[in-house]
Amino acid sequence: MAVERFNLTFNTLMSNEPILYNLGKKYRLVTVIERANVSEEAGWMQIAFNGDGDEIQRAIADLNTIGVVVTPTEIDALT
């Protein structure tokens, strides 16, 4: 099982959608929200996906198709 961390950036129209929940069910991932901030204009989350590496990559592709910008984060020395 892989653990990969990403920053997600999205517009607030998506903030009421269960995006991470849907990804977890569709791709059998556990998502940990490490940090987040949502304002009236936009939002971002720092997340960790726990699951199969191929499933994580499919989930990222899915996020990109709905307009979420996904960028990998640096690996913390404590993880």
CATH number at residue 44: 3.30.70.260
Asked whether residue 12 carries a pLDDT value surpassing 80, the answer given is: no
Residue in this structure with the two tokens 């892989």, named with its chain if needed? 2
In a domain, 79, yes or no: no
Percent of the chain with pLDDT over 70: 94
Total domains in the fold of the chain: 1
Asked whether residue 38 carries a pLDDT value surpassing 90, the answer given is: no
d(CA 62, CA 56): 10
In a domain, 31, yes or no: yes
For the chain, the average pLDDT equals 88
- Average pLDDT, stretch 68-77? 80
- Average pLDDT, stretch 28-40? 91
Q: Where are the beta strands (DSSP E) in the chain?
A: 2-11, 30-38, 42-51, 69-72
Q: How far is CA 37 from the centre of its chain?
A: 13
Percent of the chain with pLDDT over 90: 67
